[in-house]
Structure 1
């Protein structure tokens, strides 16, 4: 099986499809290659790897004053979001959950499982929560101690205005937690310009590692204060941090190979120009792909103002010959795995812009979509009129 160089934007392994998803995503060959060695979780070399990883992540967040700490946590992104909420929200605290898609609603469901107080602003699929709504909710309920916001809501692809949400939160003396699962590493979340107490992200998103752990980047003073908050033994961020400070080790078996892969992904990320460079490539990917798909007649769920460079949601065509499962399989045969939609009102699908791909690959994506439509006998990808009307009504 032939391979290409790690930094080339081409098929990482011949015959392997590109993952046009919000993560897991297509990784560089050198990231895969980094997992070919075994590491002892207690060994000094691996402890040094963990330390280096955490230092690089804090630097990516922009901390130059030594006020923030990175705590890696085993598990998928949702594990880490639950760890964040369970550790940083006191048991007698109350959270304002800002939702405009599945992941905001999942945060609310997590609070329900934790048995902790919360209130929900649900904006649906089309629009972001805005600062005036946050301010009004906080003014109306003095019991609210924290706000949780989703940086990029990948069920729709919307990029939420974290800066203005932060301003509204701290103007009223509350604390902000950020789920930047699908944005950190490509969208700026600099602690010097956007205030928050803690954020959470994952290895297999914009830094282009592989699944297996997430990480919390938190103000150290907040970490110190959250001792005893957690509902869980294994999801206790404070306990994980305290053990790492004491021993340099993860409390329980770490995903050693995933950490090694992530360090290589961080090297490539830095070589590309860090957050700015990675974000610029993803934005070019989005612009090329969206422009080409619109020429075929596809319509995006969101207005351009809210389109993230992470993933884009399209309405399914109204044409009677269009069946998403068939379209999916045809795209896969051509080397591209797309993502089903997660909207509740209309039929949709999603195309990711992240991973080891550039604009030339995205031109190929559009060509594959055109060929797939032709093979299905679909001569226009225009969506149902009802979908456009619903978008206009809900986005008004």
Structure 2
């Protein structure tokens, strides 16, 4: 959306904006789509399921019929576990790339699955790089797969999945991508970035509502995964095979959520697809970060690694700053922000995604400025120790 464009309408019914990595603020027409009941076995609903799967494969850039889409009930973590449990054979081994909570969650998932795995943990500040991945693969020929987080929302880092992919396939291994909070706004074209499967969710950059995730996977890889899964309900191969045969979900689908997602996909296409959606989010980030820095806040990350999905800010050192109070003041002004999820320093996060634009982000900055004044915070500068810690860990 260009800078001169008219602002989006405010949320209806006095709703606050959700400045989170999902659930997020949705269009009224997306909410409205949930007002009709659907039969999960009905031909009309089967057609809706087929439509969303076809559109998601197209968003991934597949034009040769090499990829398929498998939706899975539940939150995004259900689909991540389904992907890992289905594509990694029981005698396989996974290299988990972590630089925040969601990479560590992938490692925890592997532990629960009883699958062999090893970990590169970069901490909160820096991304895993291709040369590091290559060295780890060279050192351990038993590794069969690598799992990478596309956008690590605990810090806001956009990870370099293209160079990671090159390192993985140069060594004959396979890449799985958790693109939960990036797909639909950040390019993940299968013709430019090679991977076997990627997972995302309805309530992220396509701006639907929570209720299901989905895996876009190479058809041949999915066919070969029969019998791998540890779970009845989370077996992606079984879900896909049943859908191929009947057009239905194996178990009760979130029908209203699917209807809302179909409308969200329509709005996504109307806006201009991945490129336009991503450009709006980039503008949201740039306007918000510039404004927050102007009133004294400092970002956790250097500009190079700031994603257009969510931005982490250090909490101010001023003793009058209490995050719980800041949160409530921001909520009263119409904005729900997100607490920090770092292991080292106190922080909070502001999301850039959802049905909002740069006009809204300017109001966010003004609300933050007013909240600081109401709290009696003289400076939003972070503690010196936090800056020193960042410099040490990012060196």
Same fold (TM over 0.5): yes
1:71 aligns with 2:70: yes
- 1:1-396 aligned within 5 A: 9-396=8-395
CA contact (8 A) 2:7 2:359 kept: no
Q: Distance in 1 between matches of 2:345 and 2:134?
A: 31
Q: Distance in 1 between matches of 2:9 and 2:195?
A: 38
CA contact (8 A) 2:7 2:357 kept: no
CA contact (8 A) 1:10 1:361 kept: no
Q: Secondary structure at the match of 2:12?
A: coil
Q: Secondary structure at the match of 2:216?
A: strand
Q: CA deviation at 1:14?
A: 3.5
Q: Distance in 2 between matches of 1:160 and 1:228?
A: 32
Any stretches of 5+ residues in structure 1 without a counterpart? 1-6
Q: Secondary structure at the match of 1:200?
A: strand
Q: CA deviation at 1:387?
A: 0.5
Q: CA deviation at 1:328?
A: 0.1
Q: CA deviation at 1:8?
A: 6.2
Q: Distance in 2 between matches of 1:11 and 1:335?
A: 10
Q: Distance in 1 between matches of 2:356 and 2:74?
A: 26
Q: Distance in 2 between matches of 1:238 and 1:390?
A: 45
Q: Distance in 1 between matches of 2:363 and 2:356?
A: 11
Count of residues in correspondence between the two structures: 390
Q: Secondary structure at the match of 2:264?
A: helix
Structure 2 partner of 1:4:
none
Structure 2 partner of 1:3:
none
* TM, length-normalised to structure 2: 0.98
Q: CA deviation at 1:10?
A: 2.7
Q: Secondary structure at the match of 2:359?
A: helix
Q: CA deviation at 1:11?
A: 1.9
Q: Secondary structure at the match of 1:143?
A: coil
**Residues 8 and 45 from structure 1, CA distance in 2 versus in 1: closer, same or farther, beyond 3 angstroms?**
farther
**TM-align CA RMSD:** 0.7
Q: Secondary structure at the match of 1:194?
A: coil
Q: Secondary structure at the match of 2:198?
A: strand
Q: Secondary structure at the match of 2:14?
A: coil
1:42-84 Cα distance to aligned partner (Å, 9 max, x none): 0000000000000000000000111000000000010110000
